[in-house]
Structure 1
Amino acid sequence: MIPSRSFLSSSWKLKACYATIRRRAFASSSTITPVDLEFDLHAPSGSSTHSNTRKDVGDPLVILHGLFGSKRNWKSLAKAFSRELHRPVYTLDLRNQGSSPHVPGMTYLHMAADVLHFCETHKLKHVSLMGHSMGGKVAMAFALNPALPTSLLSNLIVVDIAPSIGSISDEFMGYIDAMRAIEAEGFKTRKEADALLQKWEKDPSIRAFLLTNFIPGTTHSPHGKFQVPLGTLANAIPEIGSFPYKLGERTWEGNTLFIKGQKSKYINRHNIHTLHDYFPNMELEKLDTGHWVHAEDPHNFRILVANFLNKHSKEYHTS
């Protein structure tokens, strides 16, 4: 029997209603409206689709950047993961960063709700979700929420961050002060901006990373500016140091990999116990890097992630 048009319409409305309810529950507040995140899709070679009906293509990998980052930072690794793991790889711009919308509200519940909205919009299932630093906390908040659909998340990878609460490093607020100073000077070029930024940051690689957010001036608009909303990010700094779930409140039982930079203090002796408390089926790997693990040692980072995903790979689903 072919369903009537009215039945299909009612069924669609019911599904839409349930999706809205899930998103509201996921955000823990009906006042949170998810935004459409900008993204890049890196499809496996020879594949023009990310359809879950393809048995020769693996389940999707979704990557979340850290504070001041964007999907562009992961372009090379995303291409490598797609090629080597033969699965679609999505790199997202989180709200207020990259090319995604500038909106008030930048809690982890806000950002996790955006990622859920993205996955539902693109009909993703059995996702492997990876996040670095702030993006890692977004990924953990996504996994721990009680409204997470059962078949949505298969694997979780968290890069150099713990599910703990603490003040964010002063250097991040310093970066915002530096960006504001650069805009106040009306610099046109990245070279000029970099010269001033050296007062706050001596490491040229970190300066180059921060300046990926700088839009140089043009003939019609001579003063360069940053594409991120500096005021919104400054107000969000205290929130970025937080975490939405208390210890013992929630756990996620799925496959979880933490990757720590040995020279970084974001995962340390004071918070390392929380990794297992929240994620009992976890494993911890370490690389001889600082906080930007994937940028400092991309080769070994890629091996760790690939080995973890291959170990936990499933037969591709047909429905």
Structure 2
Amino acid sequence: MFSGVSSVKLAYDEYIPPNGNKTERPLVILHGFFGSKRNWQSLSKAFMKDLGRPIYTLDLRNHGSSPHVRPMTYTHMAADVLDLCQRLSLTNISLLGHSMGGKVAMSFALNPETPPDLLKDLIVSDIAPVRAKVSADTVLHIEGMEKVEASNITSRKQANEILEEYEKDPSVRAFLLTNLNTDTKASPLKFKVPIDILKEGRPEIESFPYAPGERAWDGHTLFVKGSKSKFINWHNKPVIKQFFPETTVSELDAGHWIHAEM
């Protein structure tokens, strides 16, 4: 537990290899904004088979099946991850985070109270350790989801039609609609995620808890950039190296959702 920071118990899925190992050298995966552990189901099964290691996918606070709670800071989200690792007695973890989850993973690595022997490898997917505005698309997505909830809709089809005004890409709309709570008979339909908390927390999501030169993590780190994405630009490379001196940066032919496109 980080001093003065309250954590919550995160929902998670586990994928355990045939040898029954649940704790040694696991890969822990953190999703991005509006994502959930469900986004990583297929890849997690493949990772477990290929690596022969346990895989844990987490729902970060205010996402998926995890608790709805303020505040939405990276230090609090990193504390949630530490709590889960300690509750499950995980050791020598590899931590993979995409987008917002990547910033959580970096915050976890850089926090001076993270046990030094807990984190073995860090993988950051298409995000940089910088303070920068979220994309205009994200702002539109929040507006669209607010419109859905205000429209008293009763079907996924209606929600999709409303979101089409805010997002033209059907695959992105499908991603956003994974958050729609269709498992209940309650009407009208609402999202599982607390739109108000996520909207309120947007300035924190745009931020980063450390300034260059303030902290560094010397462990093995891999940054993966989507060549069609602007979330990492090559001007960020010196900043990345300041925080993570042992960094390799790889570029893949993909957009921001690298794990869904490759």
Which TM class, normalised by the smaller chain length? over 0.9
Paired residue type of 1:212 = T
Kept in 2, the 8 Å contact 1:217–1:225? The answer is: no
Distance 1:280 1:202 in 2: 40
Matches within 5 A, 1:189-228: 189-216=155-182, 219=185, 221-228=186-193
Q: Which residue of 1 aligns with 2:207?
A: 242
Contact 1:189 1:217 in 2 (8 A): no
Q: Tell me the CA shift for residue 218 of structure 1.
A: 5.3
What are the residue-to-residue correspondences of 1:100-111 with 2, within 5 Å?
100-111=66-77
Match in the other structure for 2:34? 68
Q: Give 1:1-319 correspondences, 5 Å limit.
A: 23-25=1-3, 30=4, 32-44=5-17, 46-52=18-24, 59-216=25-182, 219=185, 221-297=186-262
Q: Give yes or no for contact 2:2–2:113 (8 Å, CA) kept in 1.
A: no
Q: Distance in 2 between matches of 1:51 and 1:203?
A: 39
Distance change >3 Å, CA 61–CA 182, structure 1 → 2:
same
Contact 1:187–1:217, Cα closer than 8 Å, also in 2: no
CA positional deviation for 1:47: 3.3
State the alpha-carbon separation in 2 of the partners of residues 90 and 158 from structure 1.
Answer: 16
Number of equivalent positions: 262
Residue-by-residue CA offset, 1:131-178 (whole Å, 9 max, x unaligned): 000000000000011111121000000000000011111221211111
2:254 counterpart letter in structure 1 = T
CA separation of 1:80/1:248 partners in 2, compared to 1, >3 Å: closer, same or farther? same
CA distance in 2, matches of 1:205, 1:61: 27
Structure 2: which amino acid aligns with 1:285?
S
Superposed displacement of residue 89, structure 1: 0.1
1:217 Cα shift?
7.6
Greater helix fraction, Structure 1 or Structure 2: 1
Please state whether the residue corresponding to 2:207 is helix, strand or coil.
coil
**TM-score (structure 1 length as normaliser):** 0.80
SS at match of 1:78: helix
Given that residues 218 and 245 in structure 2 are in contact (C-alpha distance below 8 angstroms), is that contact kept between their aligned partners in structure 1? Answer: yes
- Mind listing any 5+ residue stretches in structure 1 that lack a counterpart? 1-22, 53-58, 298-319
SS at match of 2:141: helix
| Alpha-carbon distance in structure 2 between the residues aligned to 1:97 and 1:172 | 15
Distance in 2 between the 1:296 and 1:131 partners? 16
Contact map agreement 1:173 1:237 (CA 8 A) in 2: no
CA distance in 1, matches of 2:97, 2:221: 12
Q: Which amino acid aligns with 1:246?
A: A
AA at the equivalent of 2:118:
L
Following TM superposition, the consecutive aligned residue runs of length 4 or more in structure 1 with deviations greater than 3 angstroms are none
Q: Which amino acid aligns with 1:50?
A: K
Deviation at 1:51, TM superposition (A): 4.3
Letter in 2 for 1:249: E
| Distance (whole Å) between structure 2 residues aligned to residue 218 and residue 72 of structure 1 | 18
Once residues 183 and 49 of structure 1 are traced to their aligned partners in structure 2, the CA distance between those partners, rounded to angstroms, is 43
| Aligned AA (2:199) | A
Shift of 1:249: 0.6
- Partner of 1:271: helix, strand, or coil? helix
Counterpart of 1:304?
none
SS for the counterpart of 2:201 is helix
RMSD: 1.2
SS in 2 for 1:165: coil
Paired letter, 2:22: H
Q: 1:49 deviation in Å? A: 4.2
